[in-house]
Amino acid sequence: MKNKPFEQEFKGTLKQRFAIRRKLSRPFIEKYGNPIIVHAINKEEIFKKILQEGKLKVPKEHDSPKKCPYMEKILKIDNGIYYSLGFTYLINYNWNYNLIFDIHYLKNLRYYKNNINFHAYRIIIDYWNNNDRLYLEKLANLNEICRQVIDKYYDKKGFDFWKIEKYVFEFIQNYPKKKELYDLIKKLAKSYEKKFPSSIKDAKKAYFEQRTPEIIGIRENNLLRNKYFLGFYIREVIDKKILKILKKKYLNKVIFDGNKITRIKEL
């Protein structure tokens, strides 16, 4: 089964990517009445392993790199599995292997109404910019990449925090008023977090907006037992070995081809 290519569209603006994200989610809105929750995987070998085991394991049980290891530790989500509202990781990073869940799976997930890692670092940089510019400049002058990232922040052209996360974290740890910074992060996290069922209400709203909720599972996800697990979107020709596993273990789940939703048993 061949899927419709979107590669040429992923290079577009934020507005264009948002439009594609909504376009891909529309068939699920029509079928289930709600947006979907997605876990995306970037490598075929990892996807195959997950299919075989039937599980999404927490980071401490596998060797894959963490998304934002330093801020995750502060927020106590460093052993979490990341999910998104719709196909966010596919659109932004071309992660082609996607596991799809009913929105009510939010009952078992931690939900932040926006990207908590990004905004936590942003609030710290904003604090230094407004209150301790010399300290921020000390960070900027640490090396070439720090200089580039902070200059981009000054020019209001973005903030690529992940490129310098280790350095920002070290500067937080060494800051004389570290407690104030931690209080800012704690306050932000509290204002962003939505408990179930408020999380579903916010997710339905976010679907129509250009923001990216952060959704995190703290426990292992057993796909074979998870009643909220709907199926897959594999954005490329499906490998014969993968198809064999799908038909053996996931026959009653759905498969999405970028346009329509069908049952795996119908392939």
Q: What is the pLDDT of residue 10?
A: 52
pTM score, two decimals? 0.89
What whole-number distance in Å separates Cα of residue 70 and Cα of residue 98?
A: 26
Q: What is the pLDDT of residue 42?
A: 92
What whole-number distance in Å separates Cα of residue 45 and Cα of residue 59?
A: 17
Average pLDDT over residues 25-38: 96
Average pLDDT over residues 199-223: 95
Do 59 and 45 contact (CB within 8 A), yes or no? no
- Helices 133-140 and 116-131, interaxial angle, to 10°? 120
- pLDDT confidence bin for 88, thresholds 50/70/90: very high
- pLDDT confidence bin for 12, thresholds 50/70/90: confident
Q: What is the pLDDT of residue 57?
A: 94
What whole-number distance in Å separates Cα of residue 194 and Cα of residue 103?
A: 14
Average pLDDT over residues 9-25: 81
pLDDT in tens, 180-208: 999 999 999 999 999 999 999 999 999 99
Q: What is the pLDDT of residue 45?
A: 93
Average pLDDT over residues 225-230: 98
Q: What is the pLDDT of residue 11?
A: 60
| Residues paired with residue 215 on neighbouring β-strands, in sequence order | 83, 111
Least confident interval from 62-66, 71-75, 245-249: 62-66
Mean pLDDT of the chain: 92
User: In the predicted model, is pLDDT for residue 2 greater than 50?
Assistant: no
Task: Classify each residue of 193-216 as buried b or exposed e, where b means 16 or more C-beta atoms within 10 Å of its C-beta.
Answer: bbeeeebbebbeebbeeeebbbbb
pLDDT in tens, 67-78: 788 999 999 999
Q: Of 18-22, 88-92, 251-255, which one has max mean pLDDT?
A: 251-255
Dihedral angle over CA of 147, 95, 115, 225, nearest 10: -150
> What are the extents of the domains in the chain?
7-113+195-266, 116-176
Q: What is the pLDDT of residue 46?
A: 93
| Residues paired with residue 37 on neighbouring β-strands, in sequence order | 85, 101
Average pLDDT over residues 245-258: 96
Q: What is the pLDDT of residue 174?
A: 97
Q: What is the pLDDT of residue 267?
A: 83
What is the SS3 string spanning the chain? Answer: CCCCCCHHHCCCCHHHHHHHHHHHHHHHHHHHCCCCEEEEECCHHHHHHHHHHCEECCHHHCCCCCCCHHHHHHHCCCCCEEEEECCHHHHHHCCCEEEEECHHHHHHCEEECCCHHHHHHHHHHHHHHHHCHHHHHHHHCCCHHHHHHHHHHHCCCCCCHHHCHHHHHHHHHCCCCHHHHHHHHHHHHHHHEECCCHHHHHHHHHCCCCCCCEEEECCCEECCCCCCEEEEEECCCCCHHHHHHHHHHCCCCEEECCCCEEEHHHC
